[in-house]
Amino acid sequence: MASKQIRVIQFGLGPIGAGVARAVAARRNLQIVGAVDIDPAKVGKDVGQFIGLERALGVKISDDATDTLKRRADVVMHCTSSSLATVEPELAAILRARHNIVSTCEELSMPESTPGGAKIAKRLDALAKKYGVTVLGTGINPGFMMDTLPLVLTGVCQEVKNIRVHRVVDASKRRKPLQAKIGTGLTVEAFKQKAGKSIRHVGLTQSIALIARALGWRLDKIEETIEPVVASQPVKTEFYDVAPGLVTGVEQFGYGIRDGQRVIELHLRMCVDAGESVDETWIDGTPSIHSVVTGVHGDLSTAAVATNCVRRVVATAPGLVTMTDIPIVSAG
Amino acid sequence: MASKQIRVIQFGLGPIGAGVARAVAARRNLQIVGAVDIDPAKVGKDVGQFIGLERALGVKISDDATDTLKRRADVVMHCTSSSLATVEPELAAILRARHNIVSTCEELSMPESTPGGAKIAKRLDALAKKYGVTVLGTGINPGFMMDTLPLVLTGVCQEVKNIRVHRVVDASKRRKPLQAKIGTGLTVEAFKQKAGKSIRHVGLTQSIALIARALGWRLDKIEETIEPVVASQPVKTEFYDVAPGLVTGVEQFGYGIRDGQRVIELHLRMCVDAGESVDETWIDGTPSIHSVVTGVHGDLSTAAVATNCVRRVVATAPGLVTMTDIPIVSAG
């Protein structure tokens, strides 16, 4: 449905933001009209050249968000932080400038499940409605592989008793900050000190809450665990040499517990010695369903999901929405 | 989101309609308040007892559609025919009675792709808007496994060049009319006389058109082929004994052609010697994606999809919609 041209402001040009900007620039029906980043090394550069296009886009990266947000635009692609509390002022400023938002902020994908998030969600929803625009948090995970896709698969079930999702992410070819974020090269002791703080994939709680809400399940609680994956033999990436006994990544579990039972189980293994990436879902229900998806690429696919959401968010009624509130997101 | 009680009229109680009614009756938030069928053998029976529940529902099957449609209801589950032209008067009567519609009419899933369907779609859309209700055609296929799910999977792609879907349906345990509809037990010659007329799965064209529209692809044309699957050894079902050389089912291909290339290829093999049912999708794109889904059950899952659509259709703005116009359909 590539029809009307949609004007886009890119807010945040870290690795994810740059990837989103590349995906946006590749679409004929999307046009980048502004770009914001606070990094002095990026400010003043043409955004097209900065993200590695062969052509300039005629749009300079600015550190003046207020000024950039004054431009006429349909949507802001917001890619700055995982933390809802951190991004709230940024999102509020964008909403006041009357722009729709697609954000890769993990905690925004299901804000009510984040501690303190319900109040922030209420404020953002009110602000979005006041200014007649829509705000969505999305990405590949949370936002798609461990919540939206399993939910879509339940569409063929008359009844669902239990959902398990297993996601293996090969981090060996990914960007350095991601390899660092999962603890690559640390000792197990250093990992345990940082685990749950600087080392953690954010999103399992949000995915579980989104699944439970869509299925009408009231959960007693959501639990998360995090453990290191430890090298049994030497592992080498572009950025790290990991000796046996050191950490190659994270193994996280998330559990949605209802009436004392683990009714939702998410398992994420993200490490530099993971082997092939795979996304697997088991639905215990009527009928029971099993799915195996291969080929998903963390960085390319996060940018894809965010970009593919644009036309849905622009067309959706004002307010704070989740992936279960908008029509299915497809390429194009 | 099992919240407000939704009142349902079941329109049509053939095998699919009865399956849908069973799925509806099993949901706490759905209540059957009326049932219509023209078969004298069914009229006057309690719908609960007719569909095999242990309890009566206190709702008698009526052959008086006009009278039944006068009841207060939120949605009509419509399950009578694959043919859009055949069902138009029924749908029009339901819309005039101001009821939302979820229909398993295959050609309604993407009516514009059916010969003569564009005009019917326009009339139904106008009528739905006039009376402030919504009408959707859905099911497992068309409606889900060969269109909605592949489209959802493209959500993780920045670009899509080609989509192939392969669906194998084990018909050996299915109802007799379905085994008959796919030509089970016929000679190849008899099959070829009936192929494309009484013997044919309806839906590949609709699925291709739905995929193409969602991806913004203008197709030159859509082509379908149909061939018999022939037994190489004796095959026995509850209803048929198929000798070697006789037909066990259908093999259908559908092609969406763009700029001379087959950019969408759907392959459906439905026979009584198919082995395990499986749904497989290949997306050639950035990145390329492969998915394998097992466990989908034709009858249970068609009823599931239709029932799971109810709350979406009730909540959606008036008009004729498709599966790509409503929020993701999940159980619950």
The DSSP 8-state label assigned to residue A80 in this structure reads: S
Spell out the domain ranges in chain A.
6-139+300-321, 148-295
d(CA B286, CA A304): 9
Q: How confident is the model at residue B1 (pLDDT cuts 50, 70, 90)?
A: very low
Q: Do A152 and B217 touch (CB under 8 A)?
A: no
Neighbour tally for B238: CB within 10 Å: 11
**pLDDT score at B3:** 58
| Chain A closest-CA separation from residue B113 CA (Å) | 16
Q: Say yes or no to pLDDT of B313 above 90.
A: yes
d(CA A22, CA A32): 10
**CA nearest to A105, candidates A130, A88, A126, A120:** A88
d(CA B211, CA B163): 9
**pLDDT score at A3:** 58
CATH number of B6-139+300-321: 3.40.50.720
Nearest residue, CB atoms, A301 vs list B149, B156, B217 = B156
Q: In angstroms, what CA-CA distances link B171 with A77, A251, B118, B194, B269?
A: 47, 41, 32, 19, 10
How many CB pairs below 8 Å do chains A and B form together?
174
193-232 of A, contacting B, C-beta below 8 A: 213-217
d(CA B181, CA B215): 32
Q: Do B331 and A157 touch (CB under 8 A)?
A: yes
pLDDT in tens, A120-142: 999 999 999 999 999 999 999 99
Contacts of A323 in chain B (CB under 8 A): 328
A169 inside 8 A of chain B by CB? no
Q: How much of chain B exceeds pLDDT 70, in percent?
A: 99
pLDDT in tens, A261-277: 999 999 999 999 999 99
53-112 of B, contacting A, C-beta below 8 A: none
**pLDDT score at A177:** 85
Residue A149: both structure tokens together: 């896709």
Contacts of B38 (CB under 8 A, 6+ apart): B63
| Chain A closest-CA separation from residue B218 CA (Å) | 10
d(CA B127, CA B133): 9
Q: Do B330 and A285 touch (CB under 8 A)?
A: no
**CA nearest to A157, candidates B332, B268, B278:** B332
Neighbour tally for B290: CB within 10 Å: 16
B239 inside 8 A of chain A by CB? no
Which amino acid would we find at residue A119? Answer: K
d(CA A62, CA A68): 7
CA-derived radius of gyration, chain B: 20
Q: Do A1 and B289 touch (CB under 8 A)?
A: no
Exposed (0-12), middle (13-18) or buried (19+): which is A181, by Cβ within 10 Å? buried
Residue A264: both structure tokens together: 């939702």
pLDDT along chain A (332 residues), means of 10: 81 97 96 98 98 96 98 98 97 98 98 95 98 98 98 98 98 90 96 92 97 97 97 96 97 98 98 96 98 95 98 97 97 90
CATH 2.60.40 applies to domain B148-295:
no
pLDDT in tens, B316-328: 999 999 999 999 9
Q: Say yes or no to pLDDT of B2 above 80.
A: no
Q: Say yes or no to pLDDT of B67 above 60.
A: yes
Which amino acid would we find at residue B163? Answer: I
pTM as predicted: 0.97
What are the residue ranges of helices labelled H in chain A?
15-25, 47-50, 65-68, 84-96, 117-131, 148-154, 176-181, 188-194, 204-215, 298-315
pLDDT in tens, B191-242: 999 998 889 999 999 999 999 999 999 999 999 999 999 999 999 999 999 9
**pLDDT score at A2:** 45
Q: What is the ipTM of this complex?
A: 0.96
Q: Which of B159, B211, B294, B330 to mutate to test the interface with A (most CBs of A within 10 A)?
A: B330
A236 inside 8 A of chain B by CB? no
Residue A226: both structure tokens together: 């995090």
Report the half-sphere exposure of A129 (CA within 13 A, side-chain side).
Answer: 8
Nearest residue, CB atoms, B154 vs list A213, A293, A330 = A330
Q: Say what the alpha-carbon torsion angle A200, A201, A205, A209 is, to the nearest 10 degrees.
A: 170
Contacts of B319 in chain A (CB under 8 A): none
Q: Where are any strands of DSSP class E within chain A?
A: 6-11, 30-36, 61-62, 75-78, 100-103, 134-137, 159-170, 221-230, 235-236, 241-242, 247-258, 261-271, 278-286, 289-294, 319-321
Sheet holding A247-258, edge to edge: A221-230, A247-258, A261-271, A159-170, A278-286, A289-294, B289-294, B278-286, B159-170, B261-271, B247-258, B221-230
Spatial contact of A23 and B158, defined as CB atoms under 8 Å apart: yes
For residue B159, the chain A residue with the least C-alpha distance is A331
**pLDDT score at B4:** 80
d(CA A45, CA A62): 8
Average pLDDT in the B269-296 region?
Answer: 97
